A and B are shown apart, each in its own frame.
Chain A
Amino acid sequence: MGMTVSAKILADHAGLGSVLPGDLVEARLDLVLGNDVTTPPAIDIMKKTGKDKVFDKDKVVLVPDHFTPNKDIKSAELSKKLQDFVCSQCLTNVFELGRKNMGIEHVILPENGLVFPGDLIIGADSHTCTYGALGAFSTGVGSTDLACAMASGSTWFKVPEAIKIVLKGKLSRYVTAKDVILHLIGMIGVSGALYKSLEFEGEGVHEISMDGRLTIANMAIECGAKNAVFPVDEVTLAYMEKTNPSRLREGRYKVYYPDEDAPYSDVITIDLSEVPLTVALPHLPSNTAKASEIKAMKIDQVVIGSCTNGRYEDIKTAAEILRGKKVKSGVRCIVIPGSQKIYRRALDEGLLAVFDDAGCVISTPTCGPCLGGHMGVLAKGERCVSTTNRNFVGRMGSPDSEVILAGVPVAAASAVKGEVATPDDI
Chain B
Amino acid sequence: MTVEGKAYKYGDNVDTDVIIPARYLNSSDPGHLKAHCMEDIDPTFAGSVAEGDIMVAGENFGCGSSREHAPVAIKASGISLVIASGFARIFYRNSINVGLPIMECPEASSKINAGDVVRADFDTGLITDITTGETFTARPFPEFIKKIIDAGGLVPYTGQKAGQ
Q: Which residues of A contact B (CB under 8 A)?
A: 24, 37-38, 40-41, 45, 48-51, 66-67, 71-72, 74-75, 78, 123-126, 128, 140-145, 147-148, 151-152, 156, 158, 190-191, 194-195, 221, 224, 226, 284, 371-373, 377, 390, 392-395, 397, 399
Contacts and interface: CB of A to CB of B under 8 A. Distances in A.
B158 interface: yes
Given A67-B26, A144-B68, A371-B65, A195 B89 contact: yes
A390 B13 contact: no
Q: Is the interface of A mostly helix, strand, loop or mixed?
A: loop
Nearest to B90: A140
18 contacts: A38-B66, A41-B68, A50-B162, A67-B25, A124-B66, A125-B65, A126-B90, A141-B93, A142-B66, A145-B97, A148-B154, A191-B59, A371-B17, A371-B25, A390-B17, A392-B64, A393-B40, A399-B39
A140 B144 contact: no
Given A48-B159, A394-B21, A142 B67 contact: yes
A55 to B, nearest CB: 10
Given A145-B97, A194-B86, A140 B26 contact: no
B10 to A, nearest CB: 12
A393 B17 contact: yes
Contacts of A392: 15, 17-18, 64
B154 A144 contact: yes
Interface in B112-164: 144, 153-155, 157-159, 161-163
B65 A72 contact: no
Given A151-B162, A284-B13, A144 B98 contact: yes
A367 to B, nearest CB: 9
Contacts of B41: 393, 399
B67 A75 contact: no
A48 B39 CA distance: 31
Contacts of A373: 22-23
Given A140-B90, A145-B97, A394-B21, A194 B161 contact: no
B109 interface: no
Interface residues of B, number: 42
A371 B90 CA distance: 18
Contacts of A128: 66
B80 interface: no
Contacts of A394: 17-18, 21, 40
A9 B87 CA distance: 25
A191 B13 contact: yes
Given A78-B26, A144-B155, A392-B18, A152 B64 contact: no
B153 to A, nearest CB: 8
B89 A194 contact: yes
B94 interface: yes
B158 A37 contact: no
A49 B157 CA distance: 8
Contacts of B162: 49-51, 151-152
